Structure 1
Amino acid sequence: MNISQLLFNSAETYPSEAFIFFRNQSFSYEAIADQVKRKAVGFREYGIKDRSHVGLMMGNKPEYVIAYFSLLSLGATVIPINPAFKESEITYILNDSEAEAVIADEIAIEAVLKALPPVSTVKTVFSLRKEKNCVSWEDVNGMIQDFFLEDKGKEDPAQIIYTSGTTGKPKGAIITHSNLDWMSHTCAEMSEVTKDDRILVVLPIFHAYAKLQGIWQAVYKGSKVYLEERFVADEILNKIAQKKITIFLGVPTMYTLFLSNPSIKELDFTDLRIAGCGGANLPLDTLEKVNEAMGVQLKEGYGQTESTVMISCFPPGVDRKYGSVGLPLPGIELQVIDPNGREVPAGEVGEIIFRGPNAMSGYYKKEQETSETIRGGWVFTGDLAKRDEQGYLYIVDRKKDMIIRGGYNVYPREIEETLYNHPNIIECAVLGESDPVFGEEIAAYVVTKIDTSTEEIIAFCKQHLAHYKVPRKVYLLDSLPKNATGKILKAPLKNRSFQ
């Protein structure tokens, strides 16, 4: 099955129902499906075909959705590219993915054109604005009667999603048509999505989280999507209230900014039934305050690029447990293991491994990295966690982020949770620095609301943490480096490239 069939199914079932709201316009399922067919025929006339690799670099707009489904319907493999990427990052992904074409919007096109000289595979560039030596988006316009859907097998690649590259060069995770099909209906079932839901998507849809839990589950159920181009806390809060949004997808930074906005106390969020949070760890203090302020049970889950999007969540009818990311999705096997591959008892920390219909097929052109990550059919996540007696999962930290100080294992997330309880701290990141005495020393990078001394922060930690967990170094910054989804990046901090 070609996964884009889901869109055509909804267009047939709900032809006149609104699918996308953007700026002051709305687009029905039938209108979007017709555009997808026209563009698919047009792309084929310019040489895009089954198994073509095509980079897609756009911000949040209907054209992204149209281009994305058009490429999938042709049997092409989509290479989503972060529209904030710079030339060298774009060059790397286009070369690594062996892309033969790129589709860019009015903003991204300049960076794409500058990134192309070292790329030998790209033959055609499609642009939403008229550019020399590019094919204009308006000229990609075939006849609907010439459209046909390319048949695809379950294991055929649908997209190659690049990891964030926080621990090295990004790797392209191959996500299949089967992965997307299974995850679309599973996400919708876990969130009990119906055609009456109104989903607000302001996270960039190049990212798996926004694409799957925003666009795909909406398409699967015929729901409405309110597509926003940028996040401004006051504007988004008002939109949630005014448009009676039922599902909002966010990241911790967004919720932190919501809480500092006065309008959160004045607006009515009665219709909001799901406030999702992904992409990074959410401090418990923030979760509790959001639940109280918005009258919603903020919904956390756990996943990674290699899992299509999600591995665990809180299923319908299951009680939430603060600090937990829920239970494995139905159909997914999950274990927490020690370094020898043995499953650890409840309450003990180990590495998460999983297998199931959400698992990527591998990293593109990277056999060694694939064999290191997928072993015996299990995907080794590199994430440390523990499970309670009922099987609920609690993320402890990234395996590579764990600090070993004087022989003690120290988990940065635990220290970060403590720091977030300080009334003056907005954001923080904890990591290890090389130390001649202890092997590694604990360093905290902190953003505060008001002037707060490093001595005060260290004293606060001493009140709440064992002595070996207390940061000995505290750096006060105006902001922390983040990726497009708001995830704090530790590599620039470790490399001192933030200064």
Structure 2
Amino acid sequence: MNIAHFLLNSTKSRPKHPVVVFREEPISFEKLTLLVKEKAVGLRKYGIKNNDHVALMMGNKPEYAIAYFALLSLGATVIPINPLFKVNEITYILNDSDAVALIVDEIGIQEVLKSREKLQSMQTIISLQPSEAIVPWSDVRGEPADYFLEPKQLDEIAQIIYTSGTTGKPKGALITHGNIAWMTETAAKMLELTAEDRILVVLPLFHAYAKLQGLLNAVFKGCTMYLEERFIPDVILKRIADYKISIFLGVPTMYTMFINLPQIKELDFSHLRTAGCGGATLPVEIVERVNAAMGVDIGEGYGQTESTVMISCFPPNSEKVHGSVGYPLPGIDLKIVDPSGQEVPVGEVGEIIFRGPNAMKGYYKKEYETEETIKDGWVYTGDLGKQDEKGLLYIVDRKKDIIIRGGYNIYPREVEEVLYTHPQIVECAVVGESDPTFGEEVAAYIVVKESATEEEIMAYCKEKLAHYKIPRKIYFLESLPKNATGKILKAPLKKKTNVNAQ
């Protein structure tokens, strides 16, 4: 089943209902489908066909949705790319994915042009911004009457989503039409979506979380996605109130910024029934403050690129347990295992592994990495976690982020949870720093509201942590490095610690 069916089905049942609202302009299901058909026929004229790999490099705008469903209609495989990427990043993904075409907007066109001579398989570049020797998006047109939907099997590839590359070169996760169809239907059930819901999406659509929980969920269920181009905290907070948003999709950084805005106490969030959080684990302190300020219980979940989107969440009407990321989704098997692959006792920490209809098919052109990640049908996540006697999942840390100080294992997240309770700390990240005596030392990178000293932070931690977990290295920054979805990046901080330790 081609997942572009979702759009065609909802258009039949709700033709006049807005599916996207952008800059206060609504686009109905009927209008979106017409544009998708026109562009699909136009793309076919430019040689794009079934199973071609085509990159999509755009910011949040209606053209993203149009291009995405047009490509899927043709049976093409979509490779989403961050429009802010630079030459080296663009070149690597386009060459690694064997992309034969690229659709790019005005944000990324200049970097694409710089990359052009290095591209090995690229045949056609289509741009929303006219440029010399580039096909203008406005020229990609055809008669909607000539449209047809390419049939696809459930195990055929719909997307190649590149991992963030925090542990090396990004790898292209092969996500099938079946993966996306199952995950969309399951996510809609978990959110208890109705056709009257309003979903605000400011997270970038090239990210799997925003695309599925926002765009695909809206298209599947016949509801409306309010699409925003940029995350400006006070603007977005007001939009949630003014547009009577019922579902907001966020990441931890966004909520951290929200609770520091004075107007959060003045706005009406009574219509907001779900505030999702993905991309990273949200500190308990922040969850409690958001709940108090906005009157909404944040629905934390857990997933990764290799799981299409989600692995676990809290089911509808279930009691939220702060610090947990919920139960495995219905239909997914999950285990916590030791380094030998043996399941550990309840409550003990181990690596999270899963299997189910959301599991990727593998990594594109990377047999070794696929075999290292998928073993006997189980996907090894590289994340450390534990389950309680009820089956609730708790994320402890990334396997590769553990700090080993003098033989003691230290989970950075545990230290971060304590730091976030300090009244002056806005954001923090804890990493290991090389140390000649202990092997590694605990280093904390901190953003504060007004002022704080190293001594104050250490004294605060001393009251709440075992002595070996206390950060001995504290660095104050104006901001922490983040990726496009607002997830704090630890790799640049680890590089800093290596320099500091020398």
Whole-angstrom distance in 2 between the partners of 1:15 and 1:250: 29
Q: Secondary structure at the match of 1:185?
A: helix
Provide the residue aligned with 2:269 in structure 1.
Answer: 269
Letter of the 1:446 partner, please give it: I
Q: TM-score, normalised by structure 1?
A: 0.99
Matching residue's letter, 2:192: E
Q: Distance in 1 between matches of 2:403 and 2:77?
A: 39
Q: 1:235 aligns to what? A: 235
Match of 2:343 in 1: 343
> How far apart, in 2, do the equivalents of 1:459 and 1:487 lie?
28
Letter aligned with residue 291 of structure 1:
N
- 2:237 maps to a residue whose letter is L
DSSP 3-state at the match of 1:496: helix
Cα distance between partner residues in 2 of 1:227 and 1:392: 33
* Matches of 1:439 and 1:487, distance apart in 2: 28
The one-character-per-residue Cα deviations of 1:290-323 (angstroms, maximum 9, x if unpaired) are 0111111111000000000000000012211111
CA-based RMSD of the aligned residues comes to: 1.1
Instruction: State, as a whole percentage, how many aligned pairs show the same letter.
Output: 65
Q: How does 1:194-205 map to 2 (within 5 A)?
A: 194-205=194-205
Aligned position for 1:100: 100
**TM-score, normalisation: structure 2:** 0.98
State yes or no: 1:61 paired with 2:61: yes
The 5 Å alignment of 1:442-481 reads 442-481=442-481
1: CA distance, partners of 2:241 / 2:477 = 34
Matched residue type, 1:71: L
Instruction: Identify the residue that residue 24 of structure 2 maps to in structure 1.
Output: 24
Q: Could you say which residue in structure 1 is the equivalent of 2:429?
A: 429
Report matched runs for 1:192-271 at 5 Å: 192-271=192-271
Letter in 1 for 2:273: R
Q: Which residue does the alignment assign to 1:290? A: 290
Q: 2:41 aligns to what?
A: 41
Cα distance between partner residues in 2 of 1:326 and 1:45: 47
Give 5+ residue unaligned stretches, structure 2.
Answer: none
Structure 1: tracts of 5 or more residues without a match = none
| Greater than 3 Å deviation, 4+ residue runs | none
Greater displacement, 450-459 / 418-427: 450-459
State the Cα distance separating 1:385 from its structure 2 match: 0.5
Distance 1:496 1:126 in 2: 39
Query: In structure 1, what is the equivalent of residue 72 of structure 2?
Result: 72
For 1:443 and 1:107, locate their aligned partners in 2 and report how far apart those are by CA, in whole Å.
Answer: 36
1:82 — aligned with what? 82
- 1:376 equivalent in structure 2: 376
Cα deviation code 1:70-103 (max 9, x no counterpart):
0011000000001111111111110110111110
Q: Distance between the aligned counterparts of 1:387 and 1:117, measured in 2?
A: 51
Amino acid at match of 1:254: M
Superposition pairs of residues 295-314 of structure 1, within 5 angstroms: 295-314=295-314
The residue matched to 2:170 in structure 1 has which SS? coil
1:402-432 per-residue CA deviation (whole Å, 9 max, x = no partner) reads: 1111111110000010111111111111111
SS in 2 for 1:71: helix
Residue correspondence of structure 1 range 112-151 to structure 2 within 5 A: 112-151=112-151
Amino acid across the alignment from 1:12? K
Other-structure match for 2:13? 13
Give the SS at the match of 1:495: helix
Moved more, 111-120 or 90-99: 111-120
Q: Once the 2 structures are TM-superposed, how far is the Cα of residue 23 of structure 1 from its aligned partner? A: 0.4
CA apart distance, 1:234: 1.2
Q: Which amino acid aligns with 1:148?
A: F
Please state whether the residue corresponding to 1:494 is helix, strand or coil: helix
* Residue 478 (structure 1) shift: 1.1
Aligned to 2:496, the other structure's residue is in SS state coil
Q: CA deviation at 1:107?
A: 1.7
Structure 1 Cα separation of the partners of residues 86 and 18 of structure 2 = 35
Deviations 1:334-370 (A, max 9, x none): 0001112111111110100000000000011111110
Which residue identity does 1:216 align to in structure 2? L
Look up the match of 1:365.
Answer: 365
Return the offset for 1:24.
2.8
Q: Corresponding residue for 1:489?
A: 489
Q: Tell me the distance in 1 between the aligned counterparts of 2:126 and 2:151.
A: 25
Q: Give distance in 1, aligned partners of 2:303 and 2:436.
A: 36
Aligned pairs, how many?
Answer: 499
Alpha-carbon distance between aligned partners in 1 of 2:165 and 2:351, rounded to the nearest angstrom:
20
Residue 451 of structure 1 deviates from its aligned partner by 2.1
- Partner residue, 1:183: 183
Residue 159 of structure 2: aligned partner: 159
How far off its partner does 1:436 sit?
Answer: 2.0
